[in-house]
């Protein structure tokens, strides 16, 4: 005891103690520091924070009777309702001026898992992570979900999201049954042969045709895959992908295109997940790993120029390091997301996604090279990442982005928040959209709407029928959001 007291009296010992404590604190400073959503001084925003709006109130939803009463009352009183989950949609899809926001996050029960039938019934406010946690012990996995598991079921189905799986078609096709609350306050049980076509409008309906209460999703085995990675030239990707699609042994696939000045749009990394025919029941779900290192590398890349070249090289090292490793299906469907946090004042980082027919990819990339600066180090408009995913033809939803088998290019863009900087970003993205449309492509609607109404109409020729159905099924315009105002009014 005496020894300890003596020790503690030494100034150098106390200095070391302070240093150790400082390291502990640094390690525990969260990566995600931004606040968004309903917490900002009575103004609602979503992940970009670009469209702040005052709302009437937020209702935390816990049961369907309460929901039904709110919708019926809104019909009578002429109120507007928006539906919010985790608010990762970035174009004001989850709120409306002076409207009521249904916060669905509390509506998140896993109702039933049927191991034999390989189905899960779940409430729409649950996240994919909740479902993964519930089905993994049964050796089961989702057929289609995004590559990250941070979104709610209702949100993902409302935007008909897609991910790394190349075998099960669009996400909407994995829905076996669904219970919905229609805009007039009626609760309907829908199956795949729904004669009234509610599923057509609710799946991929951006929250405008009612509330998804629960869904029954098809599952598959939580198979073990081996990861295969490779660096290839962009001009060889089209033929590479055809080989991937023909090879039934490959279950999942995605790729990443270089936006580093030295290899700008010339190089790609491809990542395939090959089947091993082994089912996994014991491997636990992975947590976020290496977040600090990934964020540090991404932040370097965000500076542009040589640092972006360095970031591309760092990705090479990482991608080489996972080559040959095994991973379960569920773990392949829950990539890290925290490291993407962006908090530079006066700037914003947003997502856009362009879809291009598979066979037009090569020519499209050539056109993009003419449009985008090879080195954006000193530019306000910076492109930091382009990931490529396969999106199979969608016959189910009313506003399909995949009118044929497409490649989705997910773009991470950074730009300033001054009026002229936003205007410049808008111009750039509109030009990008024009190029996409020239090749028979489309753009994705869950993101900030930089595009014009004309570009929307050209991308989604079915918009008239969508609008007509909206008027018929929701005559009092109960379900609205900023996205609806922007494109449909």
Partner 1 sequence: MQNKSERYIPLIVTVGQVVIFPYYIVWLKEVSFSYTLFAWLFATFSFAAAWGYRFFQSRGEKPRSLIASVYVAMGVVYIVVGYWKLPIEYLPYVALMTQIILGFLQGYFRAWHTKQRSYHVHAINHYLIVGVIMIGLSFMKVVSPSIFLTVFGTILCMCGMWEVVRGFDFKMMK
C-beta of 8: minimal distance to partner 1 in Å? 8
Distance spanning both ends of the chain, measured CA to CA: 77
Nearer to partner 1, 167 or 347 (CB): 347
Nearest distance in Å: CB 6, partner 1: 12
Pick the closer one to partner 1 by CB: 352 or 414. 414
Q: Which residues bind partner 1 (CB under 8 A)?
A: 9-11, 14-15, 17-18, 21-22, 24-26, 28-30, 33-34, 343-345
Q: How far is the CB of 291 from partner 1 (least distance, A)?
A: 15
Shortest separation between residue 260's beta carbon and partner 1, angstroms = 23
Whose Cβ is closer to partner 1: residue 28's or residue 282's?
Answer: 28
Identify which of residues 3 and 11 has a Cβ nearer to partner 1 in the complex: 11
Task: Give whichever of 18 and 417 is closer to partner 1, judged by the CB atom.
Answer: 18
Measured distance CA(388)–CA(368) in Å, rounded: 14
Least distance (Å) from partner 1 to the CB of residue 36?
A: 12
216 — phi, psi (to 5°)?
-110, 120
- Map residue 325 onto helix, strand or coil: coil
Shortest Å distance, C-beta 32 to partner 1: 9
- Given the complex with partner 1, which of 22 and 117 has the nearer CB atom? 22
**Least distance from partner 1 to the Cβ atom of residue 47, Å:** 16
Which of these, 275, 270, 267, lies nearest to 329 by C-alpha position?
275
Q: Minimal distance in Å, beta carbon 136 to partner 1?
A: 28
CB of 23 to partner 1, least distance (A): 10
Q: At what angle do helices 361-371 and 237-246 cross, to 10 degrees?
A: 150
350 pairs with which residues across the strands? 413
Nearest to 486, CA basis, from 472, 467, 473, 461: 467
Closer to partner 1 by Cβ: residue 189 or 344: 344
- Say if residues 141 and 219 touch (Cβ distance below 8 Å): yes
Exposure string for 40-79, b = 16+ CB within 10 A, e = fewer: eeeebbbbbbbbebebeebeebeebeebbebbeebbeeeb
User: What is the C-alpha to C-alpha distance for residues 389 and 5, in angstroms, rounded to an integer?
Assistant: 62
- Give me the least distance between CB of 7 and partner 1, in Å please: 12
| Strand spans (E) along 321-450 | 326-328, 347-357, 382-391, 406-416, 442-443
Q: Where are the alpha helices (DSSP H) in 121-166?
A: 128-135, 153-158
The tokens for 314 are: 């760092």
**Whose Cβ is closer to partner 1: residue 78's or residue 345's?**
345
Q: Are 211 and 83 in contact (CB under 8 A)?
A: yes
Of 18 and 471, which has the nearer Cβ to partner 1? Answer: 18
For the bound state, the minimum distance from the C-beta of residue 298 to partner 1, rounded and expressed in Å, comes to 13
Nearer of residues 37 and 446 to partner 1, judged by Cβ:
37
DSSP string of 17-80, one letter each residue: HHHHHHHHHHHHS-S-----STTBTTEE--SS--S-EE-SEEEE---HHHHHHHHHHHHHHT--
Q: Rounded to the nearest whole angstrom, what is the least distance from the CB of residue 19 to partner 1 in the complex?
A: 9
For residue 206, give Cα distances in angstroms to 61, 89, 487.
19, 9, 12
- Are the beta carbons of 62 and 106 closer than 8 angstroms? yes
Q: Smallest Cα–Cα separation from 357: which of 406, 408, 390, 394?
A: 406
For tokens 């001026």, name the residue.
97
Retrieve residue 45's tokens. Answer: 């925003």
Nearer to partner 1, 16 or 423 (CB): 16
Total Cβ atoms within 10 A of residue 238:
16
Which is nearer to partner 1, 26 or 317 (by Cβ)? 26
């Amino acid at each position: 005891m005496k020894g300890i007291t003596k020790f503690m009296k030494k100034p150098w010992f106390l200095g070391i103690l302070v240093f150790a404590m400082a390291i502990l604190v640094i390690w525990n400073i969260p990566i995600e520091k931004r606040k968004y959503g309903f917490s900002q001084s009575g103004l609602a925003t979503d992940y970009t924070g670009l469209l702040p709006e005052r709302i009437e109130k937020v209702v935390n939803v816990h049961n369907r009777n309460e929901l039904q009463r709110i919708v019926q009352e809104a019909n009578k009183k002429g109120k507007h309702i928006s539906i919010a989950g985790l608010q990762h949609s970035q174009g004001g899809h989850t709120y409306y001026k002076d409207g009521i926001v249904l916060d669905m996050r509390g509506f998140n029960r896993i109702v039933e898992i049927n191991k034999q039938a390989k189905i899960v019934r779940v409430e729409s406010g649950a996240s994919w992570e909740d479902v993964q946690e519930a089905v993994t012990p049964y050796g089961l996995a989702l057929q289609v979900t995004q590559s990250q598991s941070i979104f709610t079921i209702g949100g993902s189905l409302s935007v008909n999201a897609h991910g790394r799986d190349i075998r099960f078609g669009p996400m909407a096709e994995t829905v076996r049954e669904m219970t919905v609350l229609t805009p007039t306050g009626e609760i309907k049980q829908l199956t795949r042969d729904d004669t009234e076509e509610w599923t057509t409008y609710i799946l991929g309906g951006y929250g405008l045709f009612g509330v998804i209460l629960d869904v029954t999703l098809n599952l598959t085995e939580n198979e073990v895959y081996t990861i295969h990675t490779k660096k290839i030239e962009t001009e060889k990707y089209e033929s590479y992908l055809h080989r991937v699609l023909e090879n039934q042994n490959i279950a999942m696939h995605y790729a990443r295109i270089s936006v580093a000045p030295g290899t700008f749009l010339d190089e790609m990394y491809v990542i395939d997940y090959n089947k091993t025919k082994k089912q996994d029941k014991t491997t636990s779900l992975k947590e976020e790993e290496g977040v600090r290192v990934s964020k540090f590398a991404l932040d370097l890349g965000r500076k542009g120029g040589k640092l972006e070249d360095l970031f591309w090289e760092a990705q090479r090292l990482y991608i080489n390091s996972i080559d040959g490793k095994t991973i379960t299906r569920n773990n392949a469907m829950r990539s890290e997301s925290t490291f993407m946090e962006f908090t530079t004042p006066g700037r914003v980082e947003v997502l856009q996604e362009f879809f291009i027919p598979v066979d037009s990819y090569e020519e499209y990339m050539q056109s993009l090279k003419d449009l985008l600066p090879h080195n954006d180090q000193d530019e306000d408009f910076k492109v930091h990442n382009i990931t490529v995913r396969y999106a199979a033809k969608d016959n189910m939803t009313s506003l399909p982005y995949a009118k044929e088998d497409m490649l989705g290019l997910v773009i991470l863009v950074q730009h300033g928040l001054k009026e002229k900087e936003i205007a410049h970003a808008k111009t750039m993205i509109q030009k990008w959209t024009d190029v996409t449309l020239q090749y028979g492509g489309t753009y994705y609607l869950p993101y900030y709407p930089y595009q014009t109404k004309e570009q929307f109409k050209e991308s989604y020729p079915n918009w008239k029928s969508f609008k007509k159905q909206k008027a018929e099924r929701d005559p009092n315009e109960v379900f609205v959001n900023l996205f609806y105002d922007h494109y449909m009014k």
